Structure 1
Amino acid sequence: MTLLWIAIAVLLLPALWLLASPLRNARKLHDQQYHFEANDTSAEQNVAIFQRRLASLEAARERGEIDAGRFDEDRLELERSLLEDTAVTARRPLKSAGAGRFVVPVVMVAVVVISVLWYQQEGAEGDLTLLAVQQEVRNDPNGSLAMYIERMEEQAERQPDNPNVWSSLFPLYRETGQMDQAVDALERLIAIEGRIPPLLAQLAQLRFFMAERELTDEVQALVDETLEKDPRQPTVLGMLGIHAFDNGDYEQAIDRWRRAVANIENPDTAASLRDGIRVAQERLGIEPEKAAVEAAESSGIRVRVALDEDLAGRVDGDDTVFITARDIEGELPPLAVVRTQVSELPMTVVLDNSVAMSPQAQISQVQEARIVVRVSPSGQATPQPGDLFGDLDGVSVGPIEQDSAADVVINRVFE
């Protein structure tokens, strides 16, 4: 922390130097301004210009180019202009070079105070303290998990509104078997971060195992709330698979675990779920090779396609529509393609291995895909200027569900 405050001080020094720079140049600027005002001849120049213009105006009257009325009007205009030009020359007395010098140190102090207060409110001082605690325990010859938990509990008392404190304590309590404290830490984290699906799912899972793998009313309420916000939440789906397996419903366990694997990022957890799927298949008497084929064939994406009403007038009913699934990186050929017509929209299609263009590039090979829908009046597979399209990134590939679909709206024009 000492290094942090030294770094902040080093950053503040240039700012304070810039604030103090006007004090060093105040005397020079004062003398230059005084010299300018003392030798200002703008009034004399304005009078000389007035006299030249008046003489020119009188000469024009004598030559008969203007009459007396026009002469009087123009002369009045010249006199008014002279008054306006000379009026701005009235200046307030020039203040001394030291006037207002006290404001600069006040501003400098205010900058330092505001900077420190802002950092304490918005900065990561608390997180740096947590990192320091972790390093301190790690470097301590007598350091232990119990010591680390004790130090983190001290930080929880000092900074109870820091979510990183509770997100660190929760797994520590869980790993050491302190389930009640783990629940408390997780609930404190939810109170800070909000009731978001990943946290609700972890709370449901924790209470599920505390209830000896039973779906109590409290656990079921958490499950329902989580799935309402995120029907693909893998932690909850994995937990529901365990409950189904314990009750002998192996088909439902396999379905839950497959859906969880399709949306999970941790490879170790995914491997564990696949092992569970394999055991459940053995209980059902399904051969592993046949099960793998069935799983691949059932993987895909259900897509609901619609055309933006504002673009409906730009296409005809017999124009070709290409509905395509591609890998996120764009390294493979199209994984699945369905061809239809505008007159069929809106429509729902299934993109799976049955509509793959090549056995070497199938949608079951990826966990996420990018859906691209394009309207082609020419019917060509290559995009053309004027084609309409819509897309959707990061769509999960998994067991095809009848009651859910990814929505893609054709709402843009290909340039």
Structure 2
Amino acid sequence: MTLLWIALAGVLLPALWLLVLPLRTARRWQAEQLAFENEDAAAEQNVAIFERRLSALTTAYDEGKVNQRQFEDDKLALERSLLEDTAATRRRPLKSHQAGRLAVPLVMLALVAVSVIWYQHQGAEDDLILWSIGQDVRADPDGSRAMYIERLEAQALQQPGNPNLWRTLFPLYRETEQMDSAVNALERLIALEGRLPPLLAQLAQLRFFMAERELTDEVQALTDEVLEVDPRQPTVLGILGIHAFDQGDYEMAVDRWRRAVANVENPEMAASLREGIQTAQARLGQSTEPAAEETTGRGVRVNVTLDPDLASRIDADDKVFIIARDLAGERPPLAVVQGLASELPMTVELDDRAAMMDDAQISQVREVRLMVRVSPSGQATPQPGDLWGDVDGVEVGPLDAQEATEVIINRVFE
């Protein structure tokens, strides 16, 4: 924490120096302004101009070029002009260079106080303490997971309202098989963050395994709450698949696990779900490999083009993902082909050779949704700024007997 306050001081000192700087130069600026005003001859010049114009007007009057009324009107106009010019150049007396000095220290104190108070309310001091604890435990020769948990538990007494503390403790309790403590940490996190589907799904998973893989009323209520908000939540679908498998309902298990795989991001969890699907299919007496006569030559031909208005937003080496998915969006991608933006426009064939997994292939469905995405980052998951286009309801059939489906990349992913 000492380093933190040193850093804050390092940020504040330049600001305080800028506040003091006008005081250091006030005497010089006052002297220069006073000298300028003393040397300013604008008023004398205005009077001289007035006198020349009045003399010319008097001469014209004496020579009879203007009458009495004109002379008086013009003279009045000259006098008014002189008054206006001299009024504009009149200056208030200069204040002392020491005027306002007391306000500067007050502003400096206010700046420091407001900065400290703001950081205490909006800063990440508590999170920095958690980070420091982790660093200390890693650097300690006797550091262990138990030591880490002990120190975090001590912090829980000082900052019980910090969600990051409970977010850190929860997996530690789970990994050390302190299930009751893990549930308590997760419930504290839910109380702070709200009943978010991912958090409720993890709580349902904990309760499910603590109940020896029984779908208790509490677990059922949690899964129902999650699915009402997010019907594709993979953790909950995985739980329901396990329960169906244990009950001997292998078709239901395969269905739940396929929907989970389509939405899961963790590679290890996806691999485990695929193994479960294969086991359930084996129990059903189904082959996990597609029949050759059913898959040969079936797919979709796609012609991909780019909207000219978006051409300036991509580079030649940006990746292009051409994806076919089932219309319900419950399975993993059925076929994926990659290319480069420099290859646009391009025509590709999506068939079982482009499948990501054996139990999710394009030949197994009648219609697909085609989606094409240009990814400057090269990541498989959509990112803000990606360009994309899609077409729904494309019929799957023999590749040698169909025309290419046009897909135009014409939108920006927000």
TM more than 0.5: yes
* 2:112 paired with 1:115: no
CA contact (8 A) 1:335 1:363 kept: no
- Report deviation, 1:94: 1.8
Q: How big is each residue's C-alpha offset from its partner over 1:246-288, in whole Å with a ceiling of 9 and x where there is no partner?
A: 1111111111111111111111111111111111111111112
Percent of paired sites with the same residue: 59
Q: Distance in 2 between matches of 1:380 and 1:93?
A: 83
Query: Which residue of structure 2 aligns with residue 252 of structure 1?
Result: 252
Q: How big is each residue's C-alpha offset from its partner over 1:125-183, in whole Å with a ceiling of 9 and x where there is no partner?
A: 21121111112222323333222111101111211222110100111222223223222
> CA, structure 1 residues 60+218, in 2 after alignment: closer, same or farther (shift >3 Å)?
farther
Query: Which residue of structure 2 aligns with residue 87 of structure 1?
Result: 87
Query: Which residue of structure 2 aligns with residue 124 of structure 1?
Result: 124
Q: Distance in 1 between matches of 2:118 and 2:138?
A: 31
Query: Which residue of structure 2 aligns with residue 176 of structure 1?
Result: 176
The one of 349, 356, 366 aligned to 1:358: 349
> CA, structure 1 residues 142+186, in 2 after alignment: closer, same or farther (shift >3 Å)?
same
Give matches, 1:16-27, under 5 Å: 16-27=16-27
CA contact (8 A) 2:244 2:253 kept: yes
Query: Which residue of structure 2 aligns with residue 189 of structure 1?
Result: 189
Q: Distance in 1 between matches of 2:127 and 2:94?
A: 53
Query: Which residue of structure 2 aligns with residue 372 of structure 1?
Result: 389
Give the aligned residue type for 1:283.
R
- Report deviation, 1:82: 2.9
1:212 counterpart SS class: coil
Report the count of equivalent residues: 346
Give the aligned residue type for 1:269.
M
1:372 counterpart SS class: strand
Q: How big is each residue's C-alpha offset from its partner over 1:198-218, in whole Å with a ceiling of 9 and x where there is no partner?
A: 112112222222333233333
Q: Distance in 2 between matches of 1:33 and 1:280?
A: 91
> CA, structure 1 residues 380+166, in 2 after alignment: closer, same or farther (shift >3 Å)?
closer
CA contact (8 A) 1:334 1:361 kept: no
Q: How big is each residue's C-alpha offset from its partner over 1:322-352, in whole Å with a ceiling of 9 and x where there is no partner?
A: xxxxxxx964574459xxxxxxxxx999996
Query: Which residue of structure 2 aligns with residue 14 of structure 1?
Result: 14
> CA, structure 1 residues 280+72, in 2 after alignment: closer, same or farther (shift >3 Å)?
farther
> CA, structure 1 residues 88+252, in 2 after alignment: closer, same or farther (shift >3 Å)?
same
Q: How big is each residue's C-alpha offset from its partner over 1:37-64, in whole Å with a ceiling of 9 and x where there is no partner?
A: 3333222223333444555666788899
Q: How big is each residue's C-alpha offset from its partner over 1:58-103, in whole Å with a ceiling of 9 and x where there is no partner?
A: 6788899988767665554443333233223443332222222222
- TM-score relative to the length of structure 1: 0.70
CA contact (8 A) 1:201 1:223 kept: yes
Q: Distance in 1 between matches of 2:260 and 2:136?
A: 38
Query: Which residue of structure 1 aligns with residue 262 of structure 2?
Result: 262
Give the aligned residue type for 1:228.
E
> CA, structure 1 residues 382+257, in 2 after alignment: closer, same or farther (shift >3 Å)?
closer
Give matches, 1:238-249, under 5 Å: 238-249=238-249
Give the aligned residue type for 2:22.
P
Q: Distance in 1 between matches of 2:328 and 2:144?
A: 57
- TM-score relative to the length of structure 2: 0.70
> CA, structure 1 residues 393+26, in 2 after alignment: closer, same or farther (shift >3 Å)?
closer
> CA, structure 1 residues 43+143, in 2 after alignment: closer, same or farther (shift >3 Å)?
same
* 2:165 paired with 1:165: yes
2:290 counterpart SS class: helix
Q: Which runs of 5+ in 1 are unaligned?
A: 301-328, 338-346, 384-388, 395-415
CA contact (8 A) 1:336 1:357 kept: no
> CA, structure 1 residues 177+335, in 2 after alignment: closer, same or farther (shift >3 Å)?
closer
